[in-house]
Amino acid sequence: MEYRREHDSMGEVLVPADALWGAQTQRSHENFPIGTERMPHEIIRAFAVLKKAAALANASLGRMDEKDAELIAQVADEILAGKLDDQFPLVVWQTGSGTQSNMNVNEVIANRGNAIAGERRLHPNDSVNMSQSSNDTFPTALHIAAATAITQDLLPAIDQLVATLRQLEERSAGIVKCGRTHLQDAVPIAFSQEVSGWRGLLEDSREQLEVTLPGLYRLALGGTAVGTGLNAPAGFDAAVAAEVARLTGMPFVSAPNKFAALSGKDAVAFAHGAVRTLAANMMKIANDVRWLASGPRCGLGEIRIPANEPGSSIMPGKVNPTQCEAVTMVAVEVMGNDATIGFAASQGNFELNVFMPVIAYNFLQSTRLLADSIRSFDERCVSGIEPIRERMDENLHRSLMLVTCLNPYIGYENAAKVAHKAFDEGTSLRDACIELGFLTPQRFDEVFHPEEMV
């Protein structure tokens, strides 16, 4: 491999000749051979947005030459288009402020911009990082990436599954089945009502995620090193936030308290709490689906789900609820990520939180995995759910909890005697009730209508 010599404040470093990054990126690449987890591409793209916004704001405030700002914006657009993805090699496990990833972006933009210009116009620190610090850019990139992930990936995935569940409700109108509480038979429920419960959980999660967005829309940019705004011109914070809002189409604003924005990560922790709640709801829905589909002969067997692949390497013909299993594995991963983010958010010492890369990695992994799994669950499982009416009807009429409808006529204690007698003797509720003398056959038939109990 051929190398070139780059330098930073600590001296010279050998960098691969074809790399656009510089000395500080190379030092990080060599000094942190930890794990395989790379800085998420969502963070790199968020950095591109903020670098473009900062350049345009600096130019509007008279701090930067317009040609330099245009060069930075042009390279930022290349990053956003994915053209320079191989130029960001750094791992998550680096400095907790994300300084090296900030410098990675600065160096790539400067070197690529200079190559476009055919002259050395841009400096990583003096130009691309003008009016900024890693301490305010990384939390800004984190907020941009988090808000983007929620609004452009997670919420649309929820909407897709909600629409499918609503269609399943409509197709299932009129089907009454046995309800279940404590994994035991309960009073009847319409299958459409059961499905509406799943839909309602997702709609609630959507509302909760939307509640978290205003906190993510507040940006630390302009606080520079410790929140004082040192070396940033007056009005830069508002101007750059307005540019970020224009570029993203989202209502980003400057955080009113930069000291809190640099040292605290409560907005991200709060938002991930809603992400975790969505994961919990997806766990419940996926578990319900696989319980209802259990069988096909020795389980509940009340719904049929698509058979996507063979389920066993030894049992011919076996089909498993694999999409449900994928969703539940994602859910526990998200719950673990939430614990990590909570611990990391608690570590804001004095003027800076230095756990930001791991917060970013876990947050974006959670949103990415949840959105992907929800879409897959929708397309490969829920959209193909078929209620098995005969099994639902059979289970409904075998349920002893139908006796509940007799409470107004024979009382709770007598109804309990009917249920116990029917269970102990293996008879029907009708036979037990009549034998106990609580109702005549004619009266029982008048009041006992399971389909009307929903």
Which active-site residues does the annotation give?
A: 182, 312
CB 334 within 8 A of CB 366: yes
Which amino acid is located at 42 in the chain?
E
Place of tokens 């609503």: 166
Query: Closest Cα to residue 219, out of 247, 254, 258?
Result: 254
Q: String of b and e for 102-128 (b: at least 16 CB within 10 Å)?
A: bbbbbbbbbbbbbeeeeeebbebeebb
- Give the whole-angstrom CA distance, residue 215 versus residue 217: 5
CB 24 within 8 A of CB 10: no
End-to-end CA distance of the chain: 73
- Give the whole-angstrom CA distance, residue 40 versus residue 45: 9
CB 71 within 8 A of CB 113: yes
Place of tokens 């003027």: 351
Q: What HEC string does 245-293 produce?
A: HHHHCCCCEECCCHHHHHHCCHHHHHHHHHHHHHHHHHHHHHHHHHHHC
- Give the whole-angstrom CA distance, residue 237 versus residue 215: 16
Strand partners, 7: 12
CB 252 within 8 A of CB 245: yes
What pairing do the DSSP bridges indicate for beta strands 3-8 and 11-16? antiparallel
DSSP 353-399: ES-HHHHHHHHHHHHHHHHHHHHHHHHHTGGG-EE-HHHHHHHHHH-
Query: Closest Cα to residue 138, out of 364, 350, 359, 369?
Result: 359
CB neighbour list of residue 453: distance below 8 Å, 6 or more residues apart: 176, 187, 188, 402, 404, 405
- Tokens, residue 405: 């409808």
CB 361 within 8 A of CB 418: no
186 alpha-carbon distance from chain centroid: 34
Place of tokens 């694999």: 322
